[in-house]
Amino acid sequence: MEAWPDGRDAATESTNLMTAVEETPTSAGGSGELVPAGAAHDAAAAPGAHDTHTGVANAKLAMWLFLSSDCLFFGAFIATYLLYRGRDGQTGPKPADVYNIPFTSVTSFILLMSSLTMVLALAAVQRGDYRRFRVWLMATALFGATFIGGQIFEFTEFTRKGLNVDTNLFGSSFFILTGIHGTHVLVGIVWLISLWSLSMQSRLSQGDSERVEIAGLYWHFVDIVWIVIFTVIYLLPK
Amino acid sequence: MTDTDTETQEIEAGSTGSVPERQAGHEADLAQGDVAYRMSHAAPNLLPGEIRAHPDPWQYVVVAVVLAVITAVEIAVSYMEGDIPDGLIVTLLLAMMVMKFFLVASWFMHLRTDQPVFRRFFIVGSIAAPVLYLVVLATLHGVLQH
């Protein structure tokens, strides 16, 4: 009979392990009771259940994987901006000619504070306070919309000063980077409003808080990407 | 090993037995299969993937105030261009950017309270991206100048 280095019998431990896997605890209803593996799958289909094959929620794991890859996506555009920044021989406006730091600081601050309202919305839904959840969620969407409004104003001003996406390398890399970030924010706003609508129809309960948390992860990611963009693109010495 | 990793192991190992015994049992279980182990040791009253309860709303507010203060200092420092060396401005701004980045990721995105696997995924992405693109910048910067 094969034995492990610590003296335990391999066959017995293997049986114990299989039993442990089959008795996967389900978080459905938060009871933590042990159920057979087949029943766990059935329970996962119930409202508020958290589907998992690895011990961590599948949807949450998928979102983190997406965010990890999105770091590389944004990294490519930030690197491109830095590469083309300050190249000699460019025609058209340069960063110092068009940036309005006080204005961008205000919109950046609004986006930063939207992360606070987002976590407050999550905390509210997790304790079953749906009224506050909707208030904080709508505040987050409105902050995001304000940020987008500021970005549209900024783009319009830049265009008026002669900087377009095809004016020079600075214009191309700037508009592509901030435009893609703005698109991410827009997607986030649509996502938040859809969650708000579901809540208004009483189709989002305390047990569905994981859906709000995943939307929140996306929203916070958009925020931290802007933290990097704001510093690297706007604030670093030109 | 970080404090959180240690806490994770302690929570997952349960409260019975001495620390060395629990540690040995934990490592043996991991050797058998990390996935099966985690599935059979989920903490009650927490979502899958969490090892501690999320912070309370007031803690979130405190973090937001800290973020606001750092942002204000960042903007102030950016206006000191010409008064202090550019190298110092760059260093200060990048340091404050990293602080804000990790404050949001650890508190608002709950990397402090979730299982380390999420943190590892995110660290791989957020470290790999700058490293990869620094290499690209270092390579192409010279190429484009010629």
pLDDT digits (tens, 9 = 90+) for A63-73: 998 998 899 89
Structure tokens that stand for A51 in this block: 């589907």
**Residue A221, SS3 per DSSP:** helix
- Residue A138 and residue A20 share a domain: no
User: If you average pLDDT over every residue of chain B, what do you get?
Assistant: 75
For the cut 90, the answer to whether the pLDDT of residue B51 exceeds it is no
Cα B123 to Cα B138: distance, rounded to the nearest angstrom: 22
Give me the residue from A52, A60, A83 closest to B137, CB to CB. Answer: A83
Asked if residue A1 belongs to a domain, the reply is no
Quote the minimal CA–CA distance from B116 to chain A in Å: 11
CB pairs under 8 A between A and B: 188
Q: Decide if the complex's ipTM is over 0.85.
A: no
The dihedral of CA A26, B34, A215, A183: what is its sign? negative
Determine contact, residues A56/B39, Cβ cutoff 8 Å. Answer: no
Interface subset of B 100-129, CB within 8 angstroms of A = 100-101, 104-105, 107-110, 115, 117-118, 121-122, 124-126, 128-129
For the cut 80, the answer to whether the pLDDT of residue A10 exceeds it is no
Determine contact, residues A31/A43, Cβ cutoff 8 Å. Answer: no
Asked if residue A189 belongs to a domain, the reply is yes
Return the CATH number at A142.
Answer: 1.20.120.80
Cα A123 to Cα A10: distance, rounded to the nearest angstrom: 45
Q: Do A55 and B136 make contact, defined as CB atoms within 8 angstroms?
A: no
Residue of B nearest to A108 (CA): B71
- Residue A62 and residue A40 share a domain: no
For the cut 50, the answer to whether the pLDDT of residue A35 exceeds it is no
H or E element at residue A10? helix A10-22
User: HSE-up of B7 (CA within 13 Å, CB side)?
Assistant: 13
Average of pLDDT values for B80-99?
95
Give me the residue from B41, B48, B93 closest to A56, CB to CB. Answer: B48
H or E element at residue A162? none
For chain A, the domain total comes to 2
Domain of residue A73, residue span: 58-235
- Residue A189 and residue A97 share a domain: yes
Average of pLDDT values for B6-13?
44
Cα B146 to Cα B135: distance, rounded to the nearest angstrom: 18
User: If you average pLDDT over every residue of chain A, what do you get?
Assistant: 82
- Residue A38 and residue A16 share a domain: yes
pLDDT band at A31 (very low <50, low <70, confident <90, very high): very low
> Per-residue pLDDT tens for A163-194?
999 999 899 999 999 999 999 999 999 999 99
Structure tokens that stand for A104 in this block: 């961008």
- Residue A158 and residue A75 share a domain: yes
Asked if residue A62 belongs to a domain, the reply is yes
User: HSE-up of B138 (CA within 13 Å, CB side)?
Assistant: 6
- Residue A140 and residue A30 share a domain: no
- Residue A76 and residue A37 share a domain: no
Asked if residue A52 belongs to a domain, the reply is no
Asked if residue A49 belongs to a domain, the reply is no
